[in-house]
Amino acid sequence: MVLFPPATCPRLIVKIGSALLVDPDGGVRRAWLAGIAADIAERARAGQQVAVVSSGAIALGARRLGLPKGGRASLEDAQAAAATGQIALSQVWAETLGAEGLTAAQILVTLDDLEDRRRYLNAAATLDRLLGLGVVPVLNENDSVATAEIRFGDNDRLAARVAQAAGAQGVVLLSDIDGLYDRNPALPGAVHIGRVERIDGTIEAMADRGSASGMGSGGMVSKIAAARIANAAGANLAIASGRIERPLSTAARHTVFVAEKSAPARKAWLAGGLTTRGTIHVDAGAAKALRGGASLLAAGATRVEGDFRRGDLVAICADDGRTLARGLAEYDVTEAGLITGRRSGDLAGILGYAPRAALVHRNHMALL
């Protein structure tokens, strides 16, 4: 089966890892990339709108600057390599897509661009306009200004967030592996998993943190995290090998993570959030109530952590540490700590003012 045919997937996001685009010596694999461009052009003629999330800037820049360890020896080296390599990367994409009669556009984003609601909506509007004009947006994390603390860290999750912003129905992560296996595929007896209907603890346990090439930053753990984000937004996600020619038009083995029913846009954005300001831990009764669609009340909370203010994104976790939901806090961390575990009738006396309805209201919460 060809991945996400145009008839069933009007918008598609394709992520390409560094090891596919750049050879071990730091040069662009132009012949392979020309095949990708031909695939995209074929899909565009069939009416599909395609955006690309492309790694490779650091690897290309490291070669030009002569930096050790592929430009990843330090944050400063990575930023310098990214700044240098991004020019080369955008030029290669413009030339390769241009040879197929397509126009490329470059978009560089930081984590904050997609975590801040207003900036996220601006990015979504730009993507929508470019795709509507028949342009192929080529996106990458802005590694030249990203810090170790505030960055995606891998383009797998970036691709899923871009899919969410673009309203895409499908995401393809082209990698150096052809999908998910029940254990490290290098081990004897490893079994390929072709379809995942639900991401649970069993699926997460199959993830292997290794990257076969050593050039990229995303292993299977990041790909499953990306699948969660994409699926919550209503997009199917496939992990497929890019170690073949024309991978978007060739029927080959892959793993598809099947999307849930699409959530409302705001809740999908909340579910895909990667940076939380704190954590609210809840008891078993509250966890059950949340799964039934209830708000999180103070009585069901057991403790709070972090440094959050009202309106910040927080994680809601069960006693065993599992993240149950993400939502916007109705109180800051100090007030939340004061009312944790207390009944609604006690809150006014503790706070000195009329309390809000919940610690996290269901309208501002997304279950995971």
| Alpha-carbon separation of residue 304 from 301, 316, 338, 340, 341 (angstroms) | 8, 9, 10, 8, 11
CB 192 within 8 A of CB 178: yes
**d(C-alpha 121, C-alpha 142), whole Å:** 18
220 labelled binding-site residue: yes
- Is 69 assigned to a binding site? no
143 among the known binding-site residues? yes
Which 3 state secondary structure label does DSSP give 254?
Answer: strand
Quick check: 327 and 360 in contact, CB under 8 A? yes
Q: Is 223 annotated as a binding residue?
A: yes
213 marked among binding-site residues: no
10 Å Cβ neighbour count for 322?
11
Does 176 count as an annotated binding residue?
A: yes
Return the ∠ at Cα 10 (arms to 7 and 15), rounded to 5°.
115
Q: Is residue 241 annotated as involved in ligand binding?
A: no
Phi/psi-derived region of residue 366, left when phi > 0, alpha when psi is between -120 and 50, beta in every other case: beta
Q: Are 161 and 114 in contact (CB under 8 A)?
A: yes
CA distance 54 to 99: 18
155 is in an annotated binding site: yes
- Both tokens assigned to 17: 């890892």
Q: Is 219 annotated as a binding residue?
A: yes
15 is in an annotated binding site: yes
Q: Is 55 annotated as ligand-binding?
A: yes
Residues contributing to the annotated binding site for ATP: 15, 175-176, 217-223
Residues contributing to the annotated binding site: 15, 55, 143, 155, 175-176, 217-223
Residues contributing to the annotated binding site for substrate: 55, 143, 155
